[in-house]
Chains A and B, each alone.
Chain A
Amino acid sequence: MSFLTYFINGLSLGSIYAIIALGYTMVYGIAKMLNFAHGDFIMVGCYVIFTIVATMGLPPVAGIVVAIILCTLLGVTTEKVAYKPLRNAGSPLAVLITAIGVSYLLQNAALLIFGADTKAFTPVITWQGIVLADGALKIQGVTIITIVVSVLILVCLQTFINKTKAGQAMLAVAEDKGAASLMGIDVNKTISLTFAIGSALAAIAGALMCSAYPSLTPYTGAMPGIKAFVAAVLGGIGSIPGAMIGGLILGIIEILGKTYVSSQLSDAIVFGILVVVLLVKPTGILGKNIQEKV
């Protein structure tokens, strides 16, 4: 029974990774860039919620809504100011380094405003959860909600992309920017929308993450951001179901590895899995193989 508990915890952690990875994978697929600052958007979302709930004493729902709005604005603005001018810079490294700069900027701004000390995050989810099998299996409320939310997000995103015009435009831009713009698709708008969705997802992930692991520092978002990126690559970057699968696998392996193998080596195990998967399938689990034309 304890295995099941750990497994469900892994599923919950994996769901958080999956939500972050969805944002990563969309931005990568459509804007063709690694947004290294994506993890720090999570941190920003967490601090917004913290400020509104703990400092101003407003209800958690208000915190989440404001966090989503602010993160969306932050994502769109960052793209416009820092990334868009470098879209045709000739080297993908230019925008990567700029994203690293944005990541430093957000972390240090948070450091200035909130200080380096760990803030005890007020969980926005207060539901105690359920007890099964006469108390042998206890599942926390935040765990259940995290899993449910991530599934909901996946379904909504899939529907949005496959059924709406804006979603189809995203697919077109992901396939070929030039051709899409010739077809009358506003590429700039589509990329902005992608950043908006990705950043909103980061805010939601932040709320869930800090509810499950209630401690907050300016560097809170960095490692989950990297791991979510690993998840996105694991699942096949650019693929939405891939990000979901990658996130879940990563979360489960991390928790089980920590419990049954070694708590110190759990990160090594997580990254080791990525290495093994990419060696067997170099484009990730659901990634497409593209061959260079000669």
Chain B
Amino acid sequence: MKAGRFSKKELTTYAIVVAAYIICEILMLTGIMSSHMKGLLVPICYYAIVAVGLNLCVGILGELSLGHAGFMCVGAYSSALFSYVTESAIPTAPRFIIALVIGVVMAALAGFLIGIPVLRLKGDYLAIVTLAFGEIIKNIFNAIYLGTDSTGLHFSLKDMASMGMEPGGKIIINGAQGITGTPSDSNFTIAIVILLVSLFVVQNLVSSRDGRAIMAIRDNRIAAESNGINITKYKMLAFTISAAIAGASGVLFAHNISSLTATSQYFGYNASIMFLVYVVLGGIGNIRGSMIAAVILYMLPELLRGLSDYRMLIYSVVLIVMMLVNWSPKAREFREKHLSFLKIKKEAK
């Protein structure tokens, strides 16, 4: 199965991403791609990245997280804060790299700290507590006021007035209005590189000693204990890396728009649920699948734009029908019986 230093499966994944990148670049150079479509490229990447990260948690570790939008939010805010403050002090390239490191590390830290209590819980309880933490993170970011003036930094969780700033001071984080004026340091190439790195990390983890331990815990915790596997350590490892990848996605998010706000649409539980939809439709535990599902599902409402008001309705119907067709035992039976010729192709992999 192994072809040199990477398995065939791993190489295929990287090849798909690189091919998609080249095609997009050609379409852009030849002017075929619309400017609207160009604007979607970076979002597609950051949603693919967060889907890959979440699949590590849901598919590989086997724990349902509904709070990954929160980790994305931590990555976005921490990196945007850095870039905003140092915009005039550091040149673009090193600034973005440092911002990326900060965003990833802060999200990993949040994942680690939240993981300590959360990973003691099981199943749906774990899911609802991750949702709770995600909402808490969003809520807190919405309440932060941070500013600076000649007397130094000012901070409040209440409103701007309670910061007690001098007039003429500079506001950095303005409560629900968030951070305005983050430099737009990200672009499609950077986004693709970060996606490739995320895939590299997750795929390498899965086929390593640590990855096997993580999947062993997922499949049978009691057996894993009897094999001397340190359960807490490996759960924490997977959860932290998963959060870190969501953080990287958040860094891209923050550096792709000029004004960052912690809205429910982007960082609430709705967003976490959307990521989960990518993971489940792409195949639980199938890293490449979640990436592709994220791309298709993100594009779908855009492709349906011509149908204006009906597009989200159609999207939801498509989602339900896809789930029924993919997962219902009856539909599976039907496929085995009548559509078995389609399977030959699948087995050839």
Contact = CB atoms under 8 A, between A and B. Distances in A.
A248 B69 CA distance: 28
A274 B131 CA distance: 11
B128 A229 contact: yes
A93 B280 contact: yes
A86 B324 contact: yes
Contact of A86 (B64, B131, B323): B323
B313 interface: yes
Nearest to A284: B125
B205 interface: no
B240 to A, nearest CB: 18
Name the interface size band of chain B: 35 or more
A283 B125 contact: yes
B268 to A, nearest CB: 9
A62 interface: no
A46 interface: no
B316 A82 contact: no
Interface string B142-184: 1100000000000001100000000000000001100000000
A93 B284 contact: yes
Given A85-B330, A268-B135, A279-B117, A100 B277 contact: yes
Interface stretch (A101-109, A117-125, A176-184, A194-202): A101-109
A101 B136 contact: no
A55 interface: no
Contacts of B135: 267-268, 271
A105 B139 contact: no
A188 interface: no
A108 B277 contact: no
Interface in B120-134: 120-122, 124-125, 127-129, 131-133
B313 A108 contact: yes
Interface in B191-227: 222
A229 B127 CA distance: 12
Contacts of B157: 262, 264-265
Name the interface size band of chain A: 35 or more
A211 B345 CA distance: 58
A268 B140 contact: yes
A100 B117 CA distance: 27
A274 B140 contact: no
A2 interface: no
A78 to B, nearest CB: 10
Contacts of A28: 124
Contact of B313 (A94, A105, A294): A105
Given A102-B316, A271-B131, A271-B136, 10 more contacts: A86-B324, A102-B320, A112-B309, A233-B128, A265-B140, A265-B157, A267-B136, A274-B132, A275-B117, A282-B120
28 contacts: A28-B124, A34-B127, A85-B329, A86-B323, A91-B284, A93-B64, A93-B276, A93-B280, A94-B327, A96-B280, A97-B319, A98-B320, A100-B277, A101-B320, A101-B323, A108-B315, A226-B131, A226-B269, A233-B124, A262-B157, A264-B139, A264-B175, A268-B140, A271-B135, A272-B136, A275-B133, A278-B128, A278-B129
